[in-house]
Structure 1
Amino acid sequence: MSKLEKKMQHREFVQNAITRMNTNSFQIKGLAITIVSAFLAIYAAEQKPLFIIIPVPFIIVFWFLDTYYLQLERKFRGIYNDICGLNQNPITTKIYEINPSLYCGVKYNFLNVMFSITIWPLYLITSIGLTFIYFSLK
């Protein structure tokens, strides 16, 4: 196998990991919305405000999980960019080296990812909204 073929296969491995992280993130968002909807449906049937506040801890857990997967996705994108030669100072230089723990810094920071525009609106607004509704009904 030539060096070019190995490099192409390496990129494919990393792209598959990126796709998996993206799929996990999408499914977590869908599951969070489903759980909130289910508890709101139960509230509508039972008229007990407790069912409005119950999903908030679930939302926070899903927020952390979604952040974890997006953080991993960013690290794999860093690896992918290194393989393609798009980064000025590549961290990954060996063929078939896939080590996301080498990628640190502001871009890959957990809190930076947690409050990125693709994550915080869904989870924070939902959590605050449900909490506000719960206390306004009490």
Structure 2
Amino acid sequence: MSAMSDSPNKHKHLEFIQAAIGRMAGNLFLLKGWSITLIAALFALAAKDAKQGYILIAYFPLIIFWALDGYFLCMERRFRALYDHVRQLKEEDIDFSMDTGPYKGELRNSWAAAMLSRTLFVYYAGLAVVMIVLAICIR
């Protein structure tokens, strides 16, 4: 018999945590799609109506989506830390807790660290640069 089949509670707990990680990753994907869609729509309005105000307004969703993406990435990292902790527990120590609080203190799991992660920084800073170039071209 495998070690995992000897640990049905651990296996189920890890499934719960993995489902939460999957939801966080799905939210990250959706936010990136919505950010591009909304910003593109605002730029289309700016180009159509020749109003620079739409371009300025487009920076607000950029910042908001960046912050939301950072939040979901930091939560995903905390759930990954919880997963790593639970996988090392003995069967009798499984309590099905989904509390990620103990992992908040780790610098990597902070909101700021997530917002400045390579993936989010390159995506949103790159998007900001593209927005600046488009704003110059629209003028």
Q: Does 1:123 pair with 2:136?
A: no
* Unaligned residue ranges in structure 1 (runs of 5+): 87-92
Does the 8 Å CA contact 1:50/1:134 hold for their aligned counterparts? no
CA contact (8 A) 1:22 1:73 kept: yes
7-16 or 47-56: bigger deviation? 47-56
User: What is the deviation of 1:115?
Assistant: 0.6
Gaps of 5+ in 2: none
Match of 2:21 in 1: 18
For residue 124 of structure 1, report the CA deviation from its aligned partner: 2.1
- CA shift, 1:65, in A, is 0.6
Aligned with residue 9 of structure 1, among 9, 12, 22: 12
Q: Which amino acid aligns with 1:78?
A: A
Using the size of structure 2 for normalisation, the TM-score is 0.83
| Distance in 1, Cα, partners of 2:114 & 2:41 | 28
Contact 2:43 2:58 in 1 (8 A): no
Letter paired with 1:35 = L
Task: Report 1:1-138 matches (<5 A).
Answer: 4-85=7-88, 94-103=94-103, 104-131=105-132, 133-134=134-135
Give the TM-score normalised by structure 1.
0.83
Matched length: 131
Alignment partners' CA distance in 1, 2:6 and 2:66: 41
Following TM superposition, the consecutive aligned residue runs of length 4 or more in structure 1 with deviations greater than 4 angstroms are 135-138
Identity rate, percent: 31
